[in-house]
Amino acid sequence: MTQKANLAALFGATDASTFLGLAAASLTSPIAASSVFLGVPCATPYAAVGAYASGGPDSIRQGGASLTANLDRYNFDLGGAVFPAGTRPACDAGDLDWSESDFAANRARIADAVRHIMACQSVPVLVGGDDSIPIPMLDALAATGKTYTILQIDAHIDWRDKHMDENMGLSSTMRRASEMPHINTIIQVGARGIGSAHPDDMAAACAWGAQFFPADQIMTDGIAPVLHAIPTDQDVVICFDIDALDPSLAPNTIGRAPGGLMYHHALGLIKGAAQKTRIAAMDFAEILPEADIDGIGGLTVSRLIAASMGVIARQDRDFAHHR
């Protein structure tokens, strides 16, 4: 047999024009959903590499194609269906338009989209794209008048003030977040190996008050210390760079490094955060489909996003009783 079998068809896979086969939504209309999958191919790329992760959103839709006919099935990650009875399903708002040269316009589109989604009482789930996409997402949260905790799950700490003459790129995400008055707490999980940070970047992060839980500490102590550190009096924003995962699970990224988190570390952090406080927004970044191996990364990340949407749907249902 020379042709590879389409095993996804065995599970009822569709063409995956939307993530999980969810209803399509428009950012120009009201949205009635617990969360919104929003593809963000590009924000502020470095000139040397360009928008290398622009194919990320569609790759995740394809990675989840085998689930499109099976959302009513029991999900053991969640203890029930992804969107159980009494919850609002998620939707897919497609991909944002983007420019290869006007990065300020890219950031403005992202921020506007996040504000619209949150005004509809839905949780934005941004899927990138490189790790510059959280900066405008976080900036948009200022409009709510609340203060927030960031739970960053990442192999790198992203505290560079400027890199390649750009201060809004992927290496500066948490540094820019630290300058936003509505960001009160930053908890960073999964750093390992030799990354992009200089010693003075780490010193600046510590001086600000960022809390670090490196990958090796997670391996020895588990995720309980991280969850203990999450405040209960402010919503949390989860910034998930997929290189936080071990490359055996997520090879579809530019920043592979051995010793990363396992799937249930990541899922446990997301579920545990939702038990401590309300998830207000999420992003999944650094998705590079060209680096994937036999679709393993697309499968891993799509299932993690699906589970996250299920967590948010349950949160949305419970929160609705208190509105």
Over the stretch 231-248, which tens digit does the pLDDT of each residue have?
999 999 999 999 999 999
* Residue 308 · residue 237 · CB < 8 Å: no
The phi and psi torsions of 183 (rounded to 5 degrees) equal -95, 115
Among 10-14, 135-139, 172-176, 255-259, which is the least confidently predicted range?
A: 10-14
Contacts with 157 (C-beta within 8 Å, 6 or more apart), sequence order: 174, 188, 191, 195, 197, 201, 202, 205, 210, 212
Check if CATH label 3.20.20.210 holds for domain 31-320: no
14-45, pLDDT tens digit by residue? 667 999 999 999 999 999 999 999 999 999 99
Mean pLDDT of 187-194: 96
Check whether 5 has a pLDDT greater than 70.
no
* Residue 185 · residue 231 · CB < 8 Å: yes
DSSP 163: B
pLDDT of residue 199: 95
What DSSP assignment string belongs to 194-207?
Answer: S-S--HHHHHHHHH
> Which neighbouring-strand residues pair with 92?
24, 37
Which is nearest to 280 in space by CA: 231, 234, 314? 234
Q: Which two tokens stand for residue 55?
A: 């194919």
Query: Domain boundaries in the chain?
Result: 31-320
* Residue 59 · residue 295 · CB < 8 Å: no
Which is nearest to 225 in space by CA: 187, 175, 275, 199? 187
pLDDT of residue 1: 46
DSSP 43: S
pLDDT of residue 7: 57
Among 1-5, 76-80, 122-126, which is the least confidently predicted range?
A: 1-5
How long a stretch of residues is the chain? 323
Q: Which two tokens stand for residue 217?
A: 């500490």
Q: How far apart are CA 99 and CA 80, in angstroms?
A: 41
Give, in order, the Cα–Cα distances in Å from 319 to each of 81, 166, 313: 19, 39, 10
Check whether 115 has a pLDDT greater than 90.
yes
The phi and psi torsions of 23 (rounded to 5 degrees) equal -60, 140
DSSP 28: T
Residue 209: which region, alpha, beta or left (left: phi > 0; alpha: psi -120 to 50)?
A: left
Mean pLDDT of 249-261: 96
| E strand intervals along the chain | 23-24, 35-40, 91-95, 123-128, 148-153, 183-189, 211-213, 235-241, 279-285
